[in-house]
Amino acid sequence: MPRPFHRDITFSIDGREVTAPENTILVDAAKYGDVEIPVFCYEPKLGQPVGACRMCLVEIEGIPKLQTACSTPVKDGMVVHTLTDRVKEAQNAVVEFLLINHPLDCPVCDKGGECPLQDISFGWGAGVSRFIEPKRHFEKPLSLSPLVAIDRERCILCYRCVRFSQEVAEDYQLVFEERGAHTYVSTFNGHPYVAPFSGNIIELCPVGALTSKPYRFRARPWDIEQAGSVCTLCPSQCNVSFTVRDDRVLRVLARDHKEVDDGWLCDKGRFAYQAIHADERITRPMIRDGGELREVSWDRALDEAAAALGRARGKVAAVVGGQTSNEEGHLLSHLVRDVLGSSDVESRVAGAPSAELRVALDHPDLQATVPDIEFAHAVLVIDAEPVDDMPIIDLRIRKGVRRNHVKLGVATSRPSSLDPNASAVARFAPGAGEAFLAALNAALGGGGVLSELAEAAGTTEQAVRDVAALFDATDLVILYGERLLSGPRADQTARALLNVAGKSFERGRDGAGLMEIPAGTNSRGLREVGCVSDRSPAEIAEAAAGGDLTALYLLHTDPLVDLAGEWEPALDRATTVIAHSMFLTPGIAEHATIVFPAESWAEREGTVTHPDGRLQRLRAGIGRPGDVRACWQTLAELSKRLGADISILTGSMATAQMAEHVPIYAGITHDELGGQGVRWQERDAASAYPGDVDFGPFGLEAPPVRPRPSGSELQFATFRSIWGGPEVAASPALQFLRSRPRVLLSPADAQRLELFDGLAATVAPDGREAVEATVHVRDAVPEGSAFLESDVAGVVGTAGIRKAEAAVVV
């Protein structure tokens, strides 16, 4: 779908000639002439204007009545007045009306000092009120949710929060109750407003009616500073602004970036900042001494680490967590490869496609961007749940479907929250992504017998055909989860995906393409800076358990928590386990021999790469607490102590060196990235991308036969919820959301296994340790499949599920 294009027109506002794109909403067009038109309800991010607050009334020549500037598209030759007596009278009137029921408790209101109602009353109001009647009263403040407090007396009923809930997040929870002057905002059923994106309403509220509970009464606008950076808690890499007071992050706000986050944040990104200042944080280096981790000086820790790594030369492996920056990834890779002579630096969570296939998949000609999702003719999500894996993309997809009539296809194993918005939904068996792609390839005329392949994928022929129908679209964007291309058959799956992509769009076409929803925040950047190894993490674990590797370097990851595979014996056997971490997670607490305190995402410098190739800059918003040092500094120091001084003294030097070693990033500097970042595909250095690429079509092997569960066994997969991760676990405000083991079952299976909602069940995956989980029966779960919420995503196979012994009904 072509992006809207508007030619420039000239109109007159308050006597000046102004040029603006045609059909720009007058409120925005006025800004081209430095004219501010006051607004409360207008917020373009929320979609169509509603014209409710009436604050933006202006006079337009030729139209007898005053018009709302928030709903009037500007036309050539339009003559607009915002300073006439009539307009001023109307503005005075609206301010007076809005304030008659407003408590004017600014001195004790969190919004005071950064409040649009204050600003507009001051700028456009009469300064006095003639209202002497009693004001409307409500009980206040009330809890709208555990995160948001609502003060209904302050509310000016601008509709923003309700529109957000109804039209952006589409959780349909917030509504107006009652009518007229008795109207108030509430949830539909009176229950707390709990939703993944609920915190955005706080930022949308133009008065102090919706306030953040963790931030309430913590600071005033005149004693805080804003520090822009990027949230690294998930691959969305939303642009954020940290509210800092006394070197502490007190709040996280969105820093609008149309091409990344559209100005929204998820509640994890907004509230998990509490983890930054959690008492549990590691703030000094530690060394295991007599079985216990003890705090030591940096010198000692670095010496010990250098010595241990030196001893293990050639037998070192590094596992890199998704939140690692490009610089850290590069420096670690340099340390392990160039200094220590090992080749195992792995950032991917499981077996991945070969380098040649990766080159094809990540090729700039096949790359879709985030805005493409909004303007495509069709979007297909394969094997990913955006709201859990890359939350802000979920909102972008909804926006495209709602506002631009993008056709959506969802092909996953687990039911998706996007199913109701989709015009085609296909469910395939857990782990049968390869078979599904092969079936899709067949349905698109790529060979193979559709009925057999659909059967192998555990889906129906019709479902595959429905999805294939999306491929009629000119611009199709395919979003695929990294787990689709993980595991032993990654190559075969990647070939099938490339075949399917080849059927869907011309290579190099703007507005169409592939985009990966990676498992880690910076998965793409880490791959591109070379944190890839021939061995998968599971194979590394095996080698370490077998004694072939003696030192393990864990950068921002705890394999026991984050990775599948047999890690316990590996960590046990390794003589040296060096970890950079913010928290003593189980694997690190038990097994690490040297622990370096890691910076939080508000303290780091460096760059990360968005799944669509945008390099974004991380900037430190606060100082590092305690003895925490920069990770790049630690890695550079280790290289130095091991005899390879790379002379990196600042964060920007680290970036420069990383850019020097990664041809496609060549020449990137912090200045160039600025506050908006830049997609490397759009830079000249992109010509360094390998040229000789095989895009297929490939001949496909028959997909493997799925394991058939029997008896009390079901097909099984794990998934990681948005509320997983140590940051959520360490944030007091998010405890009520914290990811817990839950097993999702279909009603039929639940009945057969004599399980019901809320019951504790034992889930025993094939060949793994059993887990106890709470049963959640969901209509949308396909019969025969079970899904377990866990920090380790992407484990597939079969699992026996039975009532836990001494099961208690919760």
Partner 1 sequence: MTDPILFKDIDEPGLRTLEVYRRRGGYDMVSKALAMTRDELVHDLEISGLRGRGGAGFSMGKKASFLPKTTMDKYLVCNADESEPGTFKDRELMTKLPHMLIEGIIIAAHAAGANRAFIYIRGEYQEVADILDAALVEARDAGYLDNLPLVVHRGAGAYICGEETGLLDSLEGKRGNPRLKPPFPANQGLYQGPTLINNVETLMTVPHIVRMGGESYAKIGAANSTGTKVVSVSGNVQRPGNYEIELGIASRELIYGLAGGPPEGREILFWFPGGSSSPVLTKDELDVPYDFDSMAKAGSMIGSGAIIIVDDSNSVVDVALKLASFYRHESCGKCTPCREGTNWTVKVLERIQSGLGTPMDLDIMASVQDRIIGNCLCVLGDSMAMPIGSMIEKFRPQFEEYMESRREVAA
Among 97, 138, 695, 756, binds partner 1 (CB under 8 A): 97
Q: How far is the CB of 204 from partner 1 (least distance, A)?
A: 17
Q: Is 99 or 760 the residue whose CB approaches partner 1 more closely?
A: 99
Under the binding rule (CB under 8 A), the answer on residue 94 touching partner 1 is: yes
Among 9, 66, 340, 545, binds partner 1 (CB under 8 A): 66
Q: Is 174 or 714 the residue whose CB approaches partner 1 more closely?
A: 174
Q: Is 117 or 615 the residue whose CB approaches partner 1 more closely?
A: 117
Among 8, 36, 89, 701, binds partner 1 (CB under 8 A): 89
Among 33, 47, 51, 741, binds partner 1 (CB under 8 A): 51
Among 19, 143, 183, 687, binds partner 1 (CB under 8 A): 183
Under the binding rule (CB under 8 A), the answer on residue 188 touching partner 1 is: no
Q: Is 7 or 65 the residue whose CB approaches partner 1 more closely?
A: 65
3-state secondary structure of 771: strand
Q: How far is the CB of 87 from partner 1 (least distance, A)?
A: 11
595: β partners: 286, 579
**Which positions ≥6 away from 474 have C-beta within 8 Å?**
377, 505, 512
Enumerate residues 155-174 that contact partner 1 by CB under 8 A: 156-157, 159
Under the binding rule (CB under 8 A), the answer on residue 23 touching partner 1 is: no
Under the binding rule (CB under 8 A), the answer on residue 181 touching partner 1 is: yes
Q: How far is the CB of 152 from partner 1 (least distance, A)?
A: 12
Of the candidates 138, 158, 262, 144, which has an alpha carbon nearest to the alpha carbon of residue 211? 144
Among 5, 62, 65, 767, binds partner 1 (CB under 8 A): 65
x-marked contacts with partner 1 along 112-141 as a string, rule CB under 8 A:
------------------xx-xx-x-----
Q: Is 81 or 313 the residue whose CB approaches partner 1 more closely?
A: 81
| Three-state DSSP string of 510-542 | CCCEEEEECCCCCHHHHHHCCCCCCCCHHHHHH
Q: Extract the runs of DSSP E, i.e. beta strands, from 727-783.
A: 742-745, 760-765, 771-777
Among 33, 47, 100, 666, binds partner 1 (CB under 8 A): 100
Taking CB under 8 A as the binding criterion, the range among 53-61, 576-584, 592-600, 689-697 that sits at the site for partner 1 is 53-61
| Three-state DSSP string of 698-731 | CCCCCCCCCCCCCCCEEEEEEECCCCCCHHHHCC
58: β partners: 67
Is 555:324 a contact under the CB 8 Å cutoff?
Answer: yes
- What span, in angstroms and rounded, lies between the C-alpha atoms of 323 and 329? 10
Q: How far is the CB of 162 from partner 1 (least distance, A)?
A: 10
Under the binding rule (CB under 8 A), the answer on residue 96 touching partner 1 is: yes
Enumerate residues 459-488 that contact partner 1 by CB under 8 A: none
Q: Is 177 or 506 the residue whose CB approaches partner 1 more closely?
A: 177
Taking CB under 8 A as the binding criterion, the range among 93-101, 453-461, 491-499, 645-653 that sits at the site for partner 1 is 93-101
Is 615:329 a contact under the CB 8 Å cutoff?
Answer: no
Element (H, E) at 111: none
Taking CB under 8 A as the binding criterion, the range among 64-72, 521-529, 590-598, 655-663 that sits at the site for partner 1 is 64-72
- What span, in angstroms and rounded, lies between the C-alpha atoms of 362 and 355? 10
Count other C-beta atoms under 10 Å from residue 143's C-beta. 12
Q: Is 128 or 705 the residue whose CB approaches partner 1 more closely?
A: 128
3-state secondary structure of 377: coil
Longest dimension (CA), the chain: 86
Q: How far is the CB of 65 from partner 1 (least distance, A)?
A: 5
Q: How many residues bind partner 1 (CB under 8 A)?
A: 38
Q: How far is the CB of 413 from partner 1 (least distance, A)?
A: 33
Helices (H), 225-345: 267-271, 298-311, 326-333
Enumerate residues 294-353 that contact partner 1 by CB under 8 A: none
Helices (H), 312-458: 326-333, 355-361, 370-375, 386-389, 391-404, 433-443, 450-457
Q: Is 52 or 678 the residue whose CB approaches partner 1 more closely?
A: 52
- What span, in angstroms and rounded, lies between the C-alpha atoms of 666 and 221? 41
Q: How far is the CB of 52 from partner 1 (least distance, A)?
A: 5
Under the binding rule (CB under 8 A), the answer on residue 55 touching partner 1 is: yes
> In whole angstroms, what separates CA 365 from the centre of its chain?
24
Is 779:757 a contact under the CB 8 Å cutoff?
Answer: no
User: Could you tell me what percentage of the chain is helix, strand and coil, using 3-state DSSP and rounding each to the nearest 5?
Assistant: 35, 20, 45
| Size of the chain, expressed as the number of residues it contains | 810
Taking CB under 8 A as the binding criterion, the range among 24-32, 54-62, 448-456, 719-727 that sits at the site for partner 1 is 54-62
Parallel, antiparallel, or unpaired: how do β-strands 594-597 and 576-581 relate? parallel
Burial of 83-112, coded b for 16+ CB within 10 Å and e otherwise, reads: eeeebeebbeebbbbbbebbbeebeebbbb
Under the binding rule (CB under 8 A), the answer on residue 42 touching partner 1 is: no
Determine the residue type at 533. Answer: S
Taking CB under 8 A as the binding criterion, the range among 98-106, 318-326, 601-609, 764-772 that sits at the site for partner 1 is 98-106
Taking CB under 8 A as the binding criterion, the range among 65-73, 288-296, 655-663, 779-787 that sits at the site for partner 1 is 65-73
Q: Can you give the binding site for partner 1, defined by CB under 8 A? A: 48-55, 57, 65-66, 68, 71, 89-90, 93-94, 96-98, 100-101, 130-131, 133-134, 136, 156-157, 159, 175-176, 178-183
